[in-house]
Structure 1
Amino acid sequence: MAKEVTPTKRSKKQKSMLVPGLIVLFLFLFVSFSYYAYQIVYTPNVDTKDQETYVYIPTGADYQEALDSVEATGVIIDKLSLRFMAKLMDYDELVKPGRYKLENGWGNRQLIGVLRAGQQSPVKLTFTNVRLRSQLAEKLAIAVEPSEEEIDQLLDDQEYLQTLGFDTTTVVSMFIPNTYEVYWTTTAKDLMERMHTEYNKFWTAERKAKAEQLGLSQKEVSTLASIVQAETIKSDEKPRVAGVYLNRLEKGMLLQADPTVVFSVGDFSIRRVLNVHLQHDSPYNTYKYKGLPPGPINVPNISSIDAVLNPEQHSYIYFCAKDDFSGYHAFAVTEAEHRANARRFHQALNARNIMR
């Protein structure tokens, strides 16, 4: 006779089989979730392919715009996990503008952590071969967030510049060409203040004393340095050229510096200064007006400034380019010697058919 299993006994048996199954299911889900969570947090999600990659998050950008900027770099492997982690870390409430370097192999947690902490990568700011104030604004704007127009507006603000001790004709001398580290989000005004600080650091007590011995202000040194820089690209010749102009100033002579004429005319393609150029009426035309021009004709570099502060002691009054086109100059004490040197150079120009 078959033995009957009561409903109560059957339920107990099913329950005893169900509990281990639930435990296994729970453990499976827990392990799966833990693994996925680990993947989201720690698995590398940045692949730069060993190339320097930066993301720029503009001032005022919101959460969506910030993440769009990150993804636009093209180095994010899993965008969904990045956004999940960003929400988990409250990045939507902690967006900070800046320039951030994305490192190869970063996980989402590390990447979002850097962004929300505002740990910017500094920009190396350099500016060389700057002739005009507008060019200075352009070069500065390449490295920082403020626009060329914003920077140029300050460079043209006479009232503001007076608070720094400059005006619109001398302000370029405040910028000492070097390599500086700044943050991309530096404002135009903060950038000006930084350059003013660097200017004051550059003008040490020793440099100030040398300028005083020459009877020149710091701005006048920079103005003369800009002429020296325009005259020669040879650093070893700069102190000699500076000595020539200092001799002329001491004698009360016209400087007669061709680069100032070119600057006053505004045509920087001129290779040969002619009489028509010399007649141009401008306070920068040192063939017409004695002394130094109102301000620098370019942004002089450190070697040019130091050449003026440490000029070669000599009796030369004249110089002109050598006829071998080496970039060096022939120097003379007398006008007769100078005319002979100039004649040879003009003959060389004519031979090469260089008219202007």
Structure 2
Amino acid sequence: MKDHLESSIFGDHDDHADVHDPVAHDEGHLDDHGQEHGAAPTSRREAREAELAAKRSGKRRRGATPEGKGKPPVWRRLLVIALALAIIGGGVVVAYGALRPVVEGFLESNDYPGPGEGEVRVTVEQGAGGSAIARELVDADVIKSTKSFVDAANADSKSAGIQPGVYEMKKQMRATDALAVLVDPKNRIVTRVTIPEGLWASEIYPRLSKASGIPVAQYVEAAKDAKALGLPSSAKGNVEGYLFPASYEFAPDSSAASQLKQMVGESTKRLEALGIAPEQMERVVILASLVEGEANSEADRGKVARVIENRLEADNSIGFDSTVNYIFKKRGVPTQEMLDSDSPYNTRRFKGLPPGPIANPGESAIQAAAAPPAGDWFYFVTVDLCTGETKFAVTGAEHERNVAEFNAWREATGGKC
């Protein structure tokens, strides 16, 4: 009765399926309470449900869990991790290659070990600071870095005394050793020459040539270019009188023209400082050259300048032997033949100032010519050529007494010191 009832509920079999199915009747049995155990499914629906349950059970056995639904398998996650590590590792290699120079730069010394080798000339320009000098040294491969030199200079107070000029150094020196060369002025490579006051241009050129090795002819030629030398227009192209006497240091590669230009610049600078206008410079320099040619001491220069001005105001006659000496480029007491020269520079014969300077005056002579002291002196004579003692007079009679004193000295000494 029960079998027939269950078949009717599912409705999957006809009334005769249970009666004629030997498997169902042979394998199934009822327990004491009338429940059936171990029997095979008796309908298609039960078979389908059993199949689905089996599939679900199999998935759970392979590791799927309700919480891990959709999570990739372990082998796939391991593969992703391996690929990520490979990418990171490659990036590290690239980064190391790019950053290696930077890291090594931090670790590497910014100074050469020294002492250096070879020879190289380095120029320190006028007004160059520590950083500019350091860059010049780096460019010449004397030092390894600007920082090494700046640090060394900051630690040495003598670095403030580095003078402009050319220095001979080694390549790849320690910064401190390079600094030691520059702070010593004796290491400068320069052409040094001293020009005394009162020389003629023809006497200055050989001195410059001896110091520089430049032929005299190049100085003579350079002196012809008034514009390049910076001569005032009133000089009319004549360099005589504007080669200022002083001690000079010329760059080792300087030309004859650049040296003469520097000397002319010194003269015009001093004239300008005294307030002398360019159109008045020539007259002042002519007066100063006469003072330089006649005065034997600095104390006498102002008085000699005043004598010149007084004579020009009186009868415009100067009458100096120094102008005659300039004509013949001979020093000492002029001969009668020299005194008879018809050169316009012969102030013994011609009135007024000579047409140009007769020497290259120094600063004290220029100052005396620009502003001579007040006085009535009209004459002067050196009474002792050995000491240079000079006496000034207002009147002719007083002057004659001074001349007599000179003649007495000459008779006693033969005119020799």
Give the TM-score category using the shorter length. Answer: 0.5 to 0.7
Once the two structures are TM-superposed, the CA of residue 179 in structure 1 deviates from its matched residue by 3.6
Indicate the SS of the match to 1:44: coil
Is this contact kept in 2: 1:224–1:296, CA < 8 A?
A: yes
Q: What does residue 350 of structure 2 align with?
A: 289
Q: What does residue 278 of structure 1 align with?
A: 339
Q: Which moved more, 1:181-190 or 1:223-232?
A: 181-190
Q: Distance in 2 between matches of 1:233 and 1:55?
A: 47
Q: 1:217 to 1:258 in 2, by over 3 A?
A: same
Indicate the SS of the match to 1:204: helix
**Is it true that 1:190 corresponds to 2:270 in the alignment?**
no
Q: Distance in 2 between matches of 1:313 and 1:278?
A: 31
Once the two structures are TM-superposed, the CA of residue 109 in structure 1 deviates from its matched residue by 1.7
Higher relative CO (CA 8 A, sep ≥ 6), structure 1 or 2? 1
**Equivalent of 2:115, from 33, 44, 66?**
44
Once the two structures are TM-superposed, the CA of residue 277 in structure 1 deviates from its matched residue by 3.1
Is this contact kept in 1: 2:197–2:292, CA < 8 A?
A: no
Indicate the SS of the match to 1:186: coil
Q: What does residue 251 of structure 1 align with?
A: 314
Aligned length: 261
Q: What does residue 35 of structure 1 align with?
A: none
**Equivalent of 2:299, from 231, 236, 242?**
236
- Aligned counterparts, 1:109-188, within 5 A: 109-110=172-173, 121-129=189-197, 131-144=199-212, 146-157=214-225, 165=233, 170-188=238-256
Once the two structures are TM-superposed, the CA of residue 243 in structure 1 deviates from its matched residue by 0.8
**Equivalent of 2:373, from 312, 329, 338?**
312
Q: Distance in 1 between matches of 2:407 and 2:248?
A: 42
Is this contact kept in 1: 2:243–2:264, CA < 8 A?
A: yes
Is this contact kept in 1: 2:116–2:171, CA < 8 A?
A: yes
Indicate the SS of the match to 2:307: helix
Is this contact kept in 1: 2:120–2:171, CA < 8 A?
A: no
Q: Distance in 2 between matches of 1:198 and 1:324?
A: 31
Once the two structures are TM-superposed, the CA of residue 323 in structure 1 deviates from its matched residue by 4.7
Q: What does residue 79 of structure 1 align with?
A: none
Q: Distance in 2 between matches of 1:322 and 1:220?
A: 29
Q: Which moved more, 1:246-255 or 1:128-137?
A: 128-137
Is this contact kept in 2: 1:145–1:185, CA < 8 A?
A: no
The one-letter code sitting in structure 2 at the alignment partner of 1:110 is M
Once the two structures are TM-superposed, the CA of residue 317 in structure 1 deviates from its matched residue by 0.6
**Equivalent of 1:225, from 284, 288, 294?**
288
Once the two structures are TM-superposed, the CA of residue 224 in structure 1 deviates from its matched residue by 1.6
Once the two structures are TM-superposed, the CA of residue 232 in structure 1 deviates from its matched residue by 2.1
Alpha-carbon RMSD across the aligned residues, in angstroms, is 4.1
Q: Distance in 1 between matches of 2:246 and 2:197?
A: 12
Is this contact kept in 1: 2:231–2:237, CA < 8 A?
A: no
Q: 1:178 to 1:237 in 2, by over 3 A?
A: same
Once the two structures are TM-superposed, the CA of residue 149 in structure 1 deviates from its matched residue by 1.9
Indicate the SS of the match to 2:381: strand
Q: What does residue 204 of structure 1 align with?
A: 272
Q: Distance in 1 between matches of 2:345 and 2:237?
A: 11
Q: 1:276 to 1:172 in 2, by over 3 A?
A: closer
- Aligned counterparts, 1:42-81, within 5 A: 42-44=113-115
Q: Distance in 2 between matches of 1:228 and 1:142?
A: 28
Is this contact kept in 1: 2:230–2:261, CA < 8 A?
A: no
Indicate the SS of the match to 1:316: coil
Indicate the SS of the match to 2:376: coil
Indicate the SS of the match to 1:207: coil
- 1:273-295 CA distance string (max 9 Å, x none): 44443212211111011111122
Indicate the SS of the match to 2:276: helix
Once the two structures are TM-superposed, the CA of residue 299 in structure 1 deviates from its matched residue by 1.0
Indicate the SS of the match to 1:330: strand
Is this contact kept in 2: 1:126–1:179, CA < 8 A?
A: yes
TM-score by length of 1: 0.60
The one-letter code sitting in structure 2 at the alignment partner of 1:307 is A
Is this contact kept in 2: 1:120–1:183, CA < 8 A?
A: no
Q: Distance in 2 between matches of 1:55 and 1:223?
A: 46
TM-score by length of 2: 0.52
Is this contact kept in 2: 1:157–1:168, CA < 8 A?
A: no
Is this contact kept in 2: 1:248–1:255, CA < 8 A?
A: yes
Q: What does residue 267 of structure 1 align with?
A: 330
Is this contact kept in 1: 2:296–2:390, CA < 8 A?
A: no
Larger Rg belongs to: 2
The one-letter code sitting in structure 1 at the alignment partner of 2:289 is S
- 1:103-161 CA distance string (max 9 Å, x none): 6xxx54239x99xxxx9745455422452222222233344464332121111457867
The one-letter code sitting in structure 2 at the alignment partner of 1:175 is L
Q: Distance in 2 between matches of 1:318 and 1:167?
A: 29
Q: 1:244 to 1:56 in 2, by over 3 A?
A: farther
Once the two structures are TM-superposed, the CA of residue 178 in structure 1 deviates from its matched residue by 2.9
Once the two structures are TM-superposed, the CA of residue 349 in structure 1 deviates from its matched residue by 0.9
Is this contact kept in 2: 1:143–1:184, CA < 8 A?
A: no
Q: Distance in 1 between matches of 2:335 and 2:399?
A: 17
- 1:27-74 CA distance string (max 9 Å, x none): xxxxxxxxxxx9xx644368xxxxxxx9999xxxxxxxxxxxxxxxxx
Once the two structures are TM-superposed, the CA of residue 166 in structure 1 deviates from its matched residue by 6.3
